[in-house]
Structures are given as structure tokens and as C-alpha cells.
Structure 1
Amino acid sequence: MNTNTIHSLNQITISRSALLHNFRLCKELAQGAPLLPLVKADAYGHGLLDCARIFAKEGVAAFGVAEVVEGVRLREAGFTEPIFVLAGVIPQTLETIITYDLTPVVVDKALFPELSRLAGKYQKTVAVHLKLDAGMGRQGILPKDFAQVVEILEQTDHLQLAGVMAHFPMADDPSSDNSSKVLATFTETTDKLDTVQRRKCCLHLANSGGLFYVAGAQLNMVRPGISLYGYYPDGDQGRGNASAPLLQPAMRFSTQVIQVREVPRGHGLGYGHLFTTTRPTTIAVLPVGYEDGYLRILSNRAQVLVNGQRAPVVGRISMNLTLVDVTDVGSVHVGDEVVLLGKQGDAEITADDIATWMETINYEVLCLFGNLNDRKLVD
């Protein structure tokens, strides 16, 4: 038997046309600033290499990954664009960064000596982007120390300051004044440094929230992430407040019914009998569970699409099985498609819906589903 022809009943599909639409919308909002698409975390569950190929054809300034291993995957797949390593730049990864011509985002001066030594070993000059903590409070150089760190970098052989970046902590809240303060701190800190101006350093700050909600945040480059994949950083509120054209969700998650059961009133369902029927009920059994990112917290909360209608998840979600009450959605049969995320007919369940039921954000939903299931690119 050829196992290559056998696939899981749980399928993630990624829409090429939606990715293109979202990229072009971000490019328009960038007002001439080039894009650095974030393809870290396997492109938010959408497929690192597939998404990078699509975006590269549209023209990008660089790609953003979290870890060196992601950058290596892109290089070995033939990508020649600059690749920024946004996290995981430690002494143990520096040699790989240099040999694969990756761009390190450096968060303090501690790495300069080893980075310089290795760059000299390979007879290279490494273009460094420094991360300024302009208000994120997570990583980076504090504004009061920034000038000194830049001076040390300038005096270190084989290293060259090529850019400065920071990150918005609250750009997903358009009502907050935090983002304007972060932008002001960033520009004030970089404007006063002759080195930054002389080298014409690339200054970049805007994530998706910065691109969509913070006036003047485009600077020399923008770093869209969640928006490329069809979602607003503030979820349903962002979609509700947005004007056309809207972002288009690119991910769809479907499965198939593996059993249809008729159970009586008063019948307990699944582990712990978390749900007991109050009427004669038709139950569709789905081969999906927390192994597939469909977490237990969705028990008795989530809805799925069957016959183009919403149907409730009932009982405890287990590792590989989920139960759905399909009593009110017409005739259902083994093999029928069930949509957990995406459209079926005129109905739709979004990652924002699932995030609400899961008590999280759309980013986490996409990463869970995309990274834990078979996935293919369509249209």
C-alpha cells in the first residue's frame, strides 16, 4: 500500500489568493515603505516556505523569523532575500547566522565580541540591527544606554550598524496613547544619533497594529504579521471597524463525520459526562481533538459548520474525538464535511470566534491548527 496517498480526515487548506490580497493591502497601507513579512512560527501556521514564495514574488525587503533554524530552512530552499532573526540570537547560533548570511537582531552589547570574532574568521562584515526597548519592556536596549551601545558597536571590527528596530506593545488597542509614546521615544532616540543618520540606518517599528492603527509608524520598513494571514490584531473589533477592502482569512480547517448516532434524552456524553442530553439527539462524531489543536476548553462552547449551518460542540473534547449536536441541521451522514474554521456556504467560523471560545487570541488559534494538522495550499 502506498501510504503517500492516505491522508488525515482533518485538513488545513491555505488560500493563495487570500495571502496575495492581504499582502497587497498591507503594501498599500505602507505608503511606499517596503515590507518585511513575518514568516516565523511556520508563517503563523500557514506554511513557512509556501508563504515566503508567495510573498517573495510580490517583492519584499526581507523576511522575519524567530529562530536561526527557520532562517536556515529559507536559505536551503533557495531564498536570497535578507532574513532577520528576531529572537534566539545567542553565542551558540552566531556561527550559523554568519555562514548562512542571516541578519541578527541584537538586544545588547554582550554578543559583540564573539560576533566580531566569528565575522573575522569568515572574513565578513556583519550587518547588525539593534533592538531598542522603546516601551515594549521585553527585550532590547534602554534609551538611556542606546548611544553608548551604538558607539561600542561602531568600534567593534567586522560589525556594522545597519538598522534599529523596536516593537509596539499595545498597537492592537487603537484607543491607547501608548503607541504614540513608543513612536516618539523611538524617533527621539534614533534622531539624536549621528551614526544612525550617517549610515542611513533602516528604522523599523510597525507591526500589523502599527501599520493599521498608528499614524506615521511606517518609517523605513514595516513588519506585518497577523494581517498577512487575514486577521486584525484586535480581532473582531478590528474587523468590525475596518473599511473595505477587508483582510481575507487564509486558513480553513475541515474534517469529516465518522459516525452518526441517535441517543435518548438524559444520555451523558463523553468523559465526565460534561453534557447530558435534554431531548432525543442526533450526534455527529468527528475525528478531531486536542491533539489537533482543538483544545478541551472548547468543550460545550465551540460551534462547527454542518450543511452550511452552525451546530454546537457537546461534551468533553478528547484527544481524537469531538461530538456535535446535529439534530437541527438536517440530514447528516458519515463522510460529510464539517468545517471547524472557515466558510461553508454562506456561513463562517473565524479564528476570532474560536479565540473567544478558547479565551485567547486569533494568533494562537492559527498557530495551533496550522502546525498540528495536514496542510495544503489551494487556489
Structure 2
Amino acid sequence: MESLNRVEISRSALIHNFQVCRQLAGDAAILPLVKADGYGHGMIDCARIFASQGAAAFGVAEAIEGVRLREAGITQPILVLVGVVPQTLPAIVDARLTPVVTDATILPALSRLAGASGSELGLHLKVDAGMGRQGTLPADFRDLVRAVLATPHLRLDGVMAHFPLADDRQSDNSAEVLRTFQQTTAMLADFNCGKCCLHLANSGGLFYVAGARLDMVRPGIALYGYYPDGAAGTATASPPRLRPAMRYVTRIIQVRRVPKGSGLGYCHLFTTARPSTLAVLPVGYANGYLRNLTGRAEVLIGGRRAPVVGRISMNLALVDVTDLPEPQVGDEVVLLGRQGQGEIGADEIAGWMETISYEVLCLFGQLNARVLVD
């Protein structure tokens, strides 16, 4: 049996988006971010697809994600961006993951475990070049590099930072962050530490910040078909344009005809102003279709838009199909994606939810049955 709610992930769209990023990156290597289960698209499937297209490395949040990628046969370097703490170090060493280190406190434990395994462990350092969230401050960077180089069984393979405002093309912040990062990492020339990979650009940095490509780029949302500045980016994008990779569909489970003046759902937030035909959908906030879509969302049935009416509940939603031609039980309903000439994108849904496309994709992709298509 399969769920009536189904998330479809387009292999061809993922490949297309990788190639768009590849073109923009020039000579820089590409590290796809596949954390958060590939932004809801399926971490392992996405990593395998991106690996086939030439991905140089991968980025995950926690060590357990990296372990799962290794178990799935991914051989490229895997950077652990979050949660490099004593409890995760054995898994990091055993699975040959690359920890992103933010201060020197973790170095002795890393060294002991790497030495016990008879290996040298490569790591990347994270600089807080303006993000203000995580990393070593520029003033402390020299001491951190010195500590890494003085610790046996450890090797400095890279240095990274992160843009806080790369999706704002009008801001001067990204240029300042880039300048701070380059000035900070310039001191690596004072150490005999060999080639060190410098990387800073997320999707926004790749698309919008001149000079940010450096040695490697870390696209995330762009690989899944959306621009980091949302609808504004989509409206102004030059060819080749990104292609959304996720489509979220359900089925009509009942068609009801109710009289004028009928209150619908919890709290009767919506009352029919005319005799109405309603389609009942087996989808709700348990499936990521949040309550705050109530009174805002629309869906596609037969390629035409229809409004969601009444309070969205845990597993049910109502759609007013009075103006549509004879919808039937079992008909496909598109919550996200294209149907016929109609399309509803994650940026539009994000506007209804008062959030960003990233959250929409994670919610839909992680809370529903998912299948890779084409």
C-alpha cells in the first residue's frame, strides 16, 4: 500500500540544477549541501545523483548523516557542519568524516581517536567572518591554526565561513564578509601547512557575490530548484533557470455538496456564501500542510486553482471546487508543483506560511512518502 500523499522528486531537475551551479562555479569545486535529508528531497538519493555529476564533497549537519552516506556508498569527503562534540567523535573518525572545528577544545580528543585508529584526520576550520553564529573570531584564527598544526594525527584541509546576507543583493555586508575572510585566511601563508581549501559561498554567494567562489562553493537551496532570495530571484533569473525538483500531490477522498450558510471545519472559520461543492483531501499539518495555510492556500485540480477553505486539521483539508468541472473521488490534487498549465511553487507557499522555501521543502519532503521520478 502507498500513502495517498506523495512527494515526487525529479532526478532530471536535480541534475539540471547541479549543472547550473557547475557553470556558475567556474573552476571551483562543488560541495552540495545534503543535510536535513537533502532539504526534504532525500539525502542518499540526492548525494548519489550529485556524485554522478562530479560533486567534490558533501555537507551534512550531524555526524549520523555522514555515517548514513558512508553506509550508502558515498566515498567523497563529507563535512560535518554541526555537532562536533566528544559524543560524536568516534563516529567521525570511524566513518572518515571531516569535522568542521570552531575552537581548539576538541583537538586533543580528535587527536587521540585518530592516533588510536592509526590514521591522520583532515579537518576544516570555521571562521566567524560576520555571520555571528558559530566559528572562531578572526583575532583568534592564528592561534587556532597553530594549535591544529601542533597537534599530532590532525591535518588542516580547509577553512570556511558563512554569509549572513548573501540573499540581499542590495546589502554591502557580503562584500565585507568576503574581505574579512580573505584577510583572515591570508595569514595561512605564514604557516607551512600545504594546500588549504577556502570556501565561503552558499547559494546566495554563488549567484550574487562577486569573487566569492574561491576554491569551493557550497550550494544548497539552488540545487533543489529555488533561488536564495525567493520569488525575487525567480523573477529576475537569467537562463538557464533553476527547476524545482519537488512535487507534492494528494487525492480527493470525497466530493460533498453543501447548502449556503454551512460552517466548515473546526471553529467554523469559513461559512459558505452559496451552495458549494467541496473536495475533501487527506492532508493536514501532520503532513506539513500547516494550520496557518488556512484561508490562504490554493491547490491545483485539473490544472486549475481552487482555494482551501475552513480550518486545516491534522489529516484533512477542504477545497472549494464549485467552479471546477465535476471533480471526482481519486482525482489528483497538486499542493506543490505543476499540473497542466498551472503551477504552485514553494516560494508562493512560503508566502502563505510566512516563512521561506527552505522550510516548505523540508516539511513536505520529510513528512510524506517520497519517490524519485524520471
Normalised by the shorter chain, which TM-score bucket?
over 0.9
User: Following TM superposition, where does structure 1 have runs of at least 4 consecutive aligned residues deviating by more than 4 angstroms?
Assistant: 195-198
2:262 matched to 1:267?
Answer: yes
2:16 is equivalent to residue 21 of structure 1: yes
Are the equivalent residues in 1 in contact too, given 2:294–2:309 (CA < 8 A)? yes
Q: Does 1:141 align with 2:118?
A: no
- SS where residue 140 of structure 2 aligns? helix
Find the aligned partners of 1:268 and 1:42 in 2 and give their Cα distance: 39
- Aligned partners of 2:326, 2:242: CA distance in 1, in Å? 34
How far apart in 2 are the matches of 1:198 and 1:40? 29
Compared with structure 1, are the counterparts of its residues 195 and 98 closer, same or farther at alpha carbon in structure 2 (3 Å cutoff)? farther
What are structure 2's unaligned runs of at least 5 residues?
Answer: none
Q: Distance in 1 between matches of 2:191 and 2:265?
A: 62
- What SS class does the counterpart of residue 192 from structure 1 fall into? helix
User: Where does residue 149 of structure 2 map in the other structure?
Assistant: 154
Instruction: Report the residue type matching 1:340 in the other structure.
Output: L
Using the TM superposition, name which of 191-200 and 364-373 deviates more.
191-200
The answer to whether the aligner puts 1:190 opposite 2:201 as a matched pair is no
Q: Which residue of 1 aligns with 2:337?
A: 342
The residue matched to 1:54 in structure 2 has which SS?
Answer: helix
Go from structure 1 to structure 2 and tell me whether the alpha carbon gap of 1:318 and 1:196 turns closer, same or farther (over 3 Å shift): farther
Give the whole-Å Cα distance in 1 for the aligned partners of 2:257 and 2:327: 11
Q: Which residue identity lines up with residue 223 of structure 1 in the other structure?
A: R
- The residue that corresponds to 2:308 in the other structure is 313
Deviation at 1:112, TM superposition (A): 0.6
> For residues 263-282 of structure 1, what are the alpha-carbon distances to aligned partners after superposition, in whole Å with 9 as ceiling and x for unaligned?
11111000000111111111
Give 1:360 shift.
Answer: 0.2
CA distance in 1, matches of 2:323, 2:152: 71
Q: Letter of the 1:361 partner, please give it.
A: I
Separation in structure 1 between the aligned mates of residue 212 and residue 3 of structure 2, nearest angstrom? 43
**What displacement does 1:43 show?**
0.3
Identity within the alignment, % = 67
Q: Is there any run of 5+ residues in structure 1 with no aligned partner, and where? A: 1-5
1:330 and 2:320 are equivalent in the alignment: no
2:112 counterpart letter in structure 1 = R
State the alpha-carbon separation in 2 of the partners of residues 310 and 40 from structure 1.
33
How far apart, CA to CA, are the structure 1 residues paired with 2:199 and 2:61?
Answer: 16
Give the C-alpha shift of residue 157 in structure 1.
1.1
1:11 pairs with 2:6: yes
1:231 aligns with 2:226: yes
Aligned-pair Cα RMSD in Å:
0.9
Inter-partner Cα distance in structure 1 for 2:343 and 2:106:
48
The answer on whether the counterparts of 1:106 and 1:128 sit within 8 Å (CA) in structure 2 is: yes
* Aligned-partner Cα distance in 2 for 1:299–1:238: 27
User: What is the total number of aligned residue pairs between the two structures?
Assistant: 374
Counterpart code for 1:268: G
- Secondary structure at 1:139's aligned position in 2? coil
Q: State the distance in 2 between where 1:53 and 1:343 align.
A: 25
Q: Return the offset for 1:20.
A: 0.5
1:56 to 51, 59, 64: 51
Give the one of 115, 132, 149 matched to 1:120: 115
For residue 180 of structure 1, what is the aligned residue in structure 2? 175
TM-score in terms of structure 1 length: 0.97
TM-score, with structure 2 as normaliser: 0.99
Q: Indicate yes or no: 2:51 matched with 1:37.
A: no
| Mapped partners of 1:309, 1:177: distance in 2 | 42
* 1:252 aligned onto 2:247: yes
Q: For residues 205 and 12 of structure 1, what CA distance do their matches in structure 2 show? A: 32
Q: How many angstroms apart in 2 are the aligned matches of 1:222 and 1:121?
A: 33
